[in-house]
Structure 1
Amino acid sequence: MRRTHRDSSSSDAHPHPAPAVRGALPAGPGRFVGRAGELAELTRLLGASRLVTISGAGGVGKSRLAAEGASALQNRYADGVRPVGLTAVGDPGLLEHSLAEALGIIDRTTRPPREVLLGHLARRDLLLVLDGVEQFSDACAALVRELLRGAPGLRVLAVGRTPLRIEGEAVLSLGPLTEADAVEFFCDRAAVVVPGFRPAEDDRAAVRELCLRLDGIPLALELAARRLPALSVEQVVERLDERFRLLAGGEQGSLPRHRTLRTAIGWSHELCTPEERLLWARLSVFAGPFDLEAVEYVCSGPDLPADRVPDVVAELLALSVITREETPAGVRYRMPGTLRACGEEWLGALGDARRMRKRHRDWYVGLATWCELDWFSPRQTEVAACAESALPNLRAALELCLESEEDTHLGQYLAGTLWFCWVGCGRLAEGRRWLDRALAQGDEHEEARLRALWVLGHVAILQGDTETAAGALRTCREEAVRADSPAAVYAVHRMGTLALLADESPRAEELLRTALDSYRELGELNGHVLMGQVELAMALVFQDRLPEAVVLCEEVREICGEHGELWTRAYALYVLAYAAWTDDSQGTARELLAEAIAISRRFHDLLGLVLAIELMALVTADEGDPAEAAVLQGAAAPLWDGVGPPLLGSRHFGAPSALCRRKAREALGPWRYEVLVREGRGLSPEAAVRRALAGPDSRTGLEDGRPAAGPALSQTREPAGSPTGKDGETAG
């Protein structure tokens, strides 16, 4: 698979950027024209009702009106506006996952996604914009009804062809542009392709006639304007008129609005070259954003050579059949939903839909394979951004794999190969869903099934589902040993992880050493190997063998630096920061933890983030600021809600938190300590990260201009240099 790599150190290559407090609505292409009355009515309805639906025919401008209206009202809601596009969601079972992703929710537990959503929204004052609710109208209606009941501060702006029909829903039925607005809109779009376009006196009547014939539908007007480099306005009107008369049986008169749009799309389609028509149809297999390389592989063939694809893509872009957008993963293209639906029909008429879906699947299976290999490289952040952009298409590929029994093994392979997306990018719940589905459908291909089994075990461990994890790993190990498969090594490794979290440090050490020896025999060097080494170091720390652990983590840190690996590096830094704390090197510990926190936040790794913040609280207490330490402990508490059992239910992992709590309570007194913990619990994840990263000299004005928790109180340190404090409490 061919790939052009960008510099992974560039600022725009960060995966899963942390969501802003106020959501940014995407700006539509071109200037927003007219709709002053509709905007005023939308504002009024949103002030009077908790659910407003903009309904109307395809192409009439519902999404653009919603974006403009919501943007104008962002300051009305304390927690801002969050847009959620549903057109790329191919399965109603993924609705909750899509909403959680748009809201920036990271949850590693086995809780149902709807329960997670309700918990997140319960105390928020927020406007949720759901675009494309007609995809799964019944499922959307049920979800919105439950969210509105459970979250009194939530407001929903839905966009779809029909209302949701929920009690209390206010409906804004959107019609076409007025004649004056339609003329202004057409001229504005025409000036994009014909610079300086202004209709002469003789042309104004033709422009008005064109707008009348196209019913003032913005999408139809946009497509017509894109033809002006080759046709005059009069020619556009004449050609459209011929097509309308044909559809109306030769009689004069208007067509229904939905047929007007379809006619305009069909007319634009007819004016395309054969290559453009073919690519339009084939591009409809993409469920979300796509890049040029994907198009070259999926859509090329004898009738459309790969070297012609870039030129044809450029033509469709010029005709507004597709749009171009800059993303952290690079340039991506997208086809509007109405035009994609037409493309799907034409592809079906060609009898080529099944073949194209398989080519699409094959590309994204290959992309996932490339991403997994490149996860252990300087391009790790690029890989995460690529997976983020490709997720709708990866979901479509998984769905196709699981449609037929003969392709189940591909679904198992793909769900297992995407472990880095599920584990490394904060999507455990969705990964669990795909792995469960894939493993429930067959076991004909042993290697694919074994891969999915150990990945399921890994995901279940991180969700706190030890029973499922133990069962999957045990089965994988037994079957892999019989088959002489390397999957046995991965199963043993994750069994060691399970023992580590169960506070069975000697057994964890035994299993992890066995796995690391086997990895070396296989010649493996990847993120799994290095993470196994970090986990072994943790098992040694828990057995009071800190110097051995430091040697292991220094080696991991060095190898990660050589290979540009970040995700595992963060965990090695965590262990090294603990070692620095025991040596009374608070500045070094803070520096190491700051880097670990930044990496974990970048990858949406909630476990790594909250462990580092807990240890940072202890460092802060020993710097002489128990008040700020209490705030950080409070800030960590809601993050644990998204991880599972606090401190993983482990006495060893919980020791730094317990020691910090004891020190801070002694310095502050129980009442003051609890007040500051409550303050910390009220911080957003972004504010918690800012507080954790702020050094001793910069802890003011960190949350909405408020001062930090209070003055530093007297230092209450215990001798460091050992994982055990004076009272024998393990702190590592």
Structure 2
Amino acid sequence: MFQRSRIDVLPATSSEFVGRRAQRERITALIARGARLITLTGPGGIGKTRLAIETLRRDVDLPTRWLALAELNAETAIAELRDLAPRPDGAPHVLVLDSCDRLVTALATELADLLEADPALTVVATSREPIGWIDEQLVPVPSLDPAQALRLLRIRMELTGRTAGDEDDDILRRICAHMSHNPFGLRLAAIRLRHHPPAIVLHEVSGDAYDRRLQWSDSARVGVEARHRDIGANIAWSTSRCTPAESLLLQRMSVFPGGSAGGGADREAIEAICADEALPAASIESALDRLVERSLVIVRLTGTSARWYLTECVRLVARAELHRRDPVEANRLAARHLQLRRLEVRRAEGAALPPQPCVVTAQPPVGAVATPRPESDRWESLSRAEREVAVLAAAGWPNSAIAVRRRSSVRTVDAQVAMVRQKLQITSRAEIARHLPAEARERMRCEARARRETARS
């Protein structure tokens, strides 16, 4: 949609604008006060460019020029900036620098010189990370709220010719949540919903090993920039600027649950899981700060604490990179995280903890007497594959269908179901459902709907 690098009018838009009232008011107030550099920050696809367009078109009555930087190299971008002369009448005016992400370092000095040479100029920049000028005003662009996200998803669905009834709202809301209420993710979900029922699409954004959202694409549509065609390309636009330490930390943090629902992890937990000789604990704080600046990690702050988490989309990409780079390390980190979770459960239950970290072993000590496991420990004892089979079986899928879904044999699934029953200490597959934790029960309900949809089709 924004192909020309420099124009004297704001780019046209072609769809309804949803939400962002607080951010529009903030930007308008900053411009009215004469702020020199206003940077809209946030993850890719969150709507920074659209927010800038709508605010300047609706709320700001000043001459505006637009410079799109996404497709420019540093040399060309610097030349464009140097070619921007101050207005001869000295009247206030605005310059929008759109998509500064990859040129932040190259542009910082030139931008400072431009602001010094033109006192009447306000620059509005969009970037996934701050530019770093001394008096820069940051305006973080958050995710939409749940109601706004649902409205936008329905609007995007209608553009594809697909409508959904009120009875679909619950599933659509959950799809929105799995996409972190990000407008870019909602656009991809709407495209997927054109040919698939909501229950199937919800299954495809489950966040587990069978999540398919990384295969979604918008590449067939005209006007879509390369970095906004799929989730992988969108996130790679940010990760390409990471240092080796930042990349390593991001990959290792993928063993923690994604999204805000899990509550995030504190720095102590992140260091316990992620630190080693290649990534010393002393370096993690600064790497975390940089990942937050790059809009790759979210931090939730209170008056006394900070907790960090990855959105589901970032986690899936980081996890795939981790497994591709070193599957042995990925399994080791997963085991370390499982051990930490068990210690946290014991601490929450008030149980006495050992003076040093527990060692996870495959077998109990010789002579140990087996004792019944608590239900939470029974579920944790299942392998990833066994958990997947357990959810599908609890949702009513027969073993033959599970085998097709998992590209396995019926004999293998039979053995896995038997192992699930043994580890959960139950006698029937009908009892599996009551042993599922909350997140697995949600997945089970989704699978049950998908099974009914399949039976009707």
Report the structure number with the largest CA radius of gyration. Answer: 1
Smaller-chain TM-score range?
Answer: 0.3 to 0.5
TM-score by length of 2: 0.46
More helix by share: 1
TM-score (normalizing by structure 1): 0.30
